[in-house]
Structure 1
Amino acid sequence: MVIKTITSLIFLLLFIALAAGARTKLKWSLEASDYADGICKLMVETQGYSCEEHKVTTKDGYILSIQRIPTGRSGGKTKGAKPPVLLQHGLMSNAITWLSNSPDESLGFILADNGFDVWLANVRGTNYSSGHTSLSPDDPEYWNWSWDERVAYDLPALFQYVYDQTGEKLHYVGHSLGTLMAFGAFSRKEVLNMVRSAALLSPIAYMGQMPSPLARAAADAFIAEDLYWLGLKEFAPGGGAASKLVDEVCSKIDCTNLESVITGPNCCMNSSKANLDHQQPTATKNMIHLAQMIRQGTIAMFDYGNEDDNNKHYGQPNPPEYNMTSIPNDLPLFLSYGGKDLLSDVKDVQTLIDTLSDHDPDKLVLLYRDDYAHLDFVYGVNAKQVVYNPLMAFFHLN
């Protein structure tokens, strides 16, 4: 039981680190007052940028928060049309991912300063997107989703809203789980009529070769299945048993070291910056779904664990797979991955690249950084030079 609890903790830390919000130390809760102001007021306007707060309602009733940075620090002086770009954060994080460094180092600000119309998404379950037309986060049914629903409902609603507001097709940037959402949507022909190109940082698709033996053992022993069927639908790092367990273990172990153990040794994050922690709740069902991917090595919809329930939900005994080969060969894709990344592992990324072997070579750009780990792609102080400048050049070509 002790071993199972420890490995479950490691799995918890694994996916908290997967979120782009993990920084130089781990913080497990935010006060309600931290969310009293929107992201515009908290993170954008303080840096001298104009910003708009918007709301988007999905077809299944979730009310999502989305922020717009329509111009850079030069105001409206950038010449020509401003192509819209939608930025999608990772697991247990929010749009602050793209704003946490200085304006010269944060992708959200850099894009705005370089003539893009920037839209920052916050998916269901996060503190800025906790609304619903009929449910409360206190209702267990509110948490009855995994990333399948983010693919089927969140991304289409966000794309449609930005498309309607701008009248133009979108560029897309995803990090970590934000890439998995895109792969799922593209493979099922969602949003393709509204996407211009996609840049996918630390791409997560296949997870079966994740190298950390601790992570694999944790996925095998993960107790969230038991928690889910017992009715604990919300997986919140800042509350309940998870918080007590983490507090207890982190009082005996230096949790700052676990960040490198789990995400890989991030080379280029500025440790002198203020620690900005934005760990967000997610659904326990979502965590189970990700554990299934590690155990099974496939990209499939949520497995309900038996043929009867799968037949009830899908009309077949096994969950349908997301077929990466069905992504259109002419969709412009920019994939950037790191040699030190233990979550978006090089072998798993190569499996993804192999499935895209028929992709138009003029429409597929691969950018490999041997020294980069998982968080360098969103927090690296040199990311503008080594990742974002090539990313923007790719956008300008498409």
Structure 2
Amino acid sequence: MRRSLSSSLVVGAIFALLLREISAVKTDVSNLRRRSPDDGTRSLCSHLIRPNGYPCTEHTVQTKDGYLLALQRVSSRNGNLRVQCGPPVLLVHGLFMGGDAWFLDSTEESLGFILADHGFDVWVANVRGTHWSHGHVTLSEKSKGFWDWSWQDLALYDLAEMICFINLKTSSKIFLVGHSQGTIVSLAALTQPDVVEMVEAAALLSPISYLDHITAPLVRRMVSMHLDQMVLALGIHQLNFRSNVLIDLIDSLCDGHLDCNDLLTAITGKNCCFNNSRVDFYLENEPHPSSAKNIHHLFQSMLYILSFLNLLVYLLLTAVANSLISLDNKFCSWNPFYFFFLCFCIKYHLLARGSPWPSK
């Protein structure tokens, strides 16, 4: 307990230094203290979708490595889940987000509702570690092993299994919509021939693949400080911005010491159309946890552009961490060119706006 507390304080102190580089408008970060929306019900359908009048069912998908993922199916307010007319579309969320990201605004502004009202058979992905998913068949969410994954596992296991599940349920090819991290996961999943066979087309919002072009000052600062390696060295495996220590620190800094509403802008860049009046509601639902290993992989991708360099650095760091005794077999057996994003045999659309800053 003492080690966990001291580790959190160190990470919090580092985060505080980063926040001092940001200036903006006040945000009530105390909303992070509110109970996670899944507490008690563990259902995205009952929390955000059915209250707006949309039929919604919950499904659970088990990955090959044992994670239990939540998948929602949504129809229009005038629709029938048993008789879906339109093609299936799978929505894949970004980093520190969950499936609720597609339903946080009004029914006229949220993509999940809009697609359902236009006749699509809407499916909503929730990757491992998010509030809406259901843990693991054997591992506790408090264990190190539960958080031993990065976005490549989301591509190989989570997204691949969800696409297969939907394909079996609907007997149709799937339209894929990804946002930010959801796009790099989608691109990686589409390097698998069996997955490509089940996908009709993909629309990638704020798309990312190689990350060397990112210019967001806060993100670049964290990368240059090797914040990801510090976190891993401290034995922290889950990054949860709803932890009491981090919330206390951020709340203190943002209450008279710093203005924190522009933290999002420092990460994503300026957005002409962001609804500031909804920030408190967004914070009631976001952010979701992610793994420290996932952040490490993303940061590493910003430092080492080529995938084989990424793999080589990972293997070397793993060897050092294990005193040169053993390496992770699943990485040693991979072709180092596995995630080169080449030509896909599907239609895809890339949608981006403004300068190359990450979205989430």
Scaled to the shorter chain, the TM-score interval is 0.7 to 0.9
RMSD: 3.1
* TM alignment of 1:1-398, pairs within 5 A: 8=15, 26=29, 27-32=31-36, 34-37=38-41, 38-69=43-74, 71-76=75-80, 81-189=85-193, 191-239=195-243, 241-251=245-255, 252-273=257-278, 275-277=281-283, 278-299=286-307, 300=310, 303-304=314-315, 305=317, 312-315=329-332, 320=337, 322-325=339-342, 327-328=343-344, 330-340=345-355, 342-343=357-358, 374=359
- Structure 2 unaligned residues grouped into runs of 5+: 1-9, 21-26
Query: Shift in Å at residue 185 of structure 1?
Result: 1.1
Q: In 2 relative to 1, CA 10–340 (structure 1 residues): closer, same or farther, beyond 3 Å?
A: farther
The whole-number CA distance in structure 1 between the counterparts of 2:230 and 2:266 is: 27
Query: Shift in Å at residue 51 of structure 1?
Result: 0.6
Q: In 2 relative to 1, CA 87–318 (structure 1 residues): closer, same or farther, beyond 3 Å?
A: closer
Query: Shift in Å at residue 7 of structure 1?
Result: 6.0
Q: In 2 relative to 1, CA 203–134 (structure 1 residues): closer, same or farther, beyond 3 Å?
A: same
Q: In 2 relative to 1, CA 88–80 (structure 1 residues): closer, same or farther, beyond 3 Å?
A: closer
**SS of alignment partner, residue 132 of structure 1:** coil
Query: Shift in Å at residue 212 of structure 1?
Result: 2.8
Q: In 2 relative to 1, CA 242–320 (structure 1 residues): closer, same or farther, beyond 3 Å?
A: farther
The whole-number CA distance in structure 2 between the counterparts of 1:81 and 1:318 is: 41
Query: Shift in Å at residue 205 of structure 1?
Result: 1.0
Q: In 2 relative to 1, CA 12–284 (structure 1 residues): closer, same or farther, beyond 3 Å?
A: farther
The whole-number CA distance in structure 2 between the counterparts of 1:118 and 1:33 is: 21
Query: Shift in Å at residue 226 of structure 1?
Result: 3.3
Query: Shift in Å at residue 297 of structure 1?
Result: 2.9
The whole-number CA distance in structure 2 between the counterparts of 1:156 and 1:127 is: 20
Contact 1:10 1:218 in 2 (8 A): no
Q: Which residue of 1 aligns with 2:3?
A: none
The whole-number CA distance in structure 2 between the counterparts of 1:320 and 1:28 is: 40
TM-score by length of 2: 0.82
- Structure 1 unaligned residues grouped into runs of 5+: 14-23, 344-373, 376-398
**What CA deviation, in whole Å up to 9, does each residue of 1:77-129 have, x standing for no partner?**
9x983200000100111111100111111110111111100001100001111
**What CA deviation, in whole Å up to 9, does each residue of 1:349-383 have, x standing for no partner?**
xxxxxxxxxxxxxxxxxxxxxxxxx48xxxxxxxx
Query: Shift in Å at residue 61 of structure 1?
Result: 0.5
Query: Shift in Å at residue 6 of structure 1?
Result: 6.6
Contact 1:7 1:222 in 2 (8 A): no
The whole-number CA distance in structure 2 between the counterparts of 1:319 and 1:143 is: 23
**SS of alignment partner, residue 161 of structure 2:** helix
Point out the more displaced range, 86-95 or 217-226: 217-226
Contact 2:38 2:44 in 1 (8 A): no
Contact 2:91 2:177 in 1 (8 A): yes
TM-score by length of 1: 0.75
Contact 2:94 2:178 in 1 (8 A): yes
Q: In 2 relative to 1, CA 50–311 (structure 1 residues): closer, same or farther, beyond 3 Å?
A: closer
Query: Shift in Å at residue 9 of structure 1?
Result: 5.2
Q: In 2 relative to 1, CA 160–73 (structure 1 residues): closer, same or farther, beyond 3 Å?
A: same
**SS of alignment partner, residue 266 of structure 2:** helix
Q: In 2 relative to 1, CA 68–316 (structure 1 residues): closer, same or farther, beyond 3 Å?
A: closer
**How many residue pairs align between the two structures?**
331
**What CA deviation, in whole Å up to 9, does each residue of 1:225-263 have, x standing for no partner?**
233244321111111554344334333211102222221
The whole-number CA distance in structure 2 between the counterparts of 1:250 and 1:267 is: 24
Q: In 2 relative to 1, CA 318–230 (structure 1 residues): closer, same or farther, beyond 3 Å?
A: farther
Point out the more displaced range, 228-237 or 145-154: 228-237
**What CA deviation, in whole Å up to 9, does each residue of 1:334-361 have, x standing for no partner?**
1000114522xxxxxxxxxxxxxxxxxx
**What CA deviation, in whole Å up to 9, does each residue of 1:17-56 have, x standing for no partner?**
xxxxxxx765434415653231111111111111101111
